[in-house]
Amino acid sequence: GKGNTGGSSTGMDASSAAGLSGADPQLQRFIEVETQKQRFQQLVHQMTELCWEKCMDKPGPKLDSRAETCFVNCVERFIDTSQFILNRLEQTQKSKSAFSESLSD
């Protein structure tokens, strides 16, 4: 037997994820999930900073009720926005092949 031909992987760049396309789908899925988790953590971090600055006019050991309400509203708005963005991202992913073709002009 010849074994597997075409072993030379051309066009393998810095992003190893690109080299993984067509590899183990489970591995791809894992990487996707990990990336999502990282994005989410970044979002949470941004949200905390944003809402903290917005709602905490006088930093103290505990939240007063006004700041608490402000936090809840801020976080909820942020989550709504993030959810919207994530949904948009998913739709873009689905139509990505068409998208990347229009980019390569």
Question: Is 62 among the domain residues?
Answer: yes
The whole domain housing 50 covers: 25-103
Sign of CA dihedral 80, 84, 87, 93: negative
12 within some domain: no
- 70 found inside a domain: yes
Residue 6 has a pLDDT of 56
17 lies in some domain: no
pLDDT tens digit sequence for 21-58: 567 889 989 999 999 899 888 988 888 888 888 888 77
Task: Indicate whether 53 belongs to any domain.
Answer: yes
pLDDT of residue 18: 54
Return d(Cα 92, Cα 85) in angstroms, integer. 10
pLDDT of residue 69: 92
Instruction: Give me the CATH number covering residue 64.
Output: 1.10.287.810
Q: Does residue 59 belong to any structural domain of this protein? A: yes
pTM of the model: 0.44
**Distance, CA of 13 to chain centre:** 21
Count of domains observed in the chain = 1
The one-character DSSP state at 2 is -
56 in any annotated domain: yes
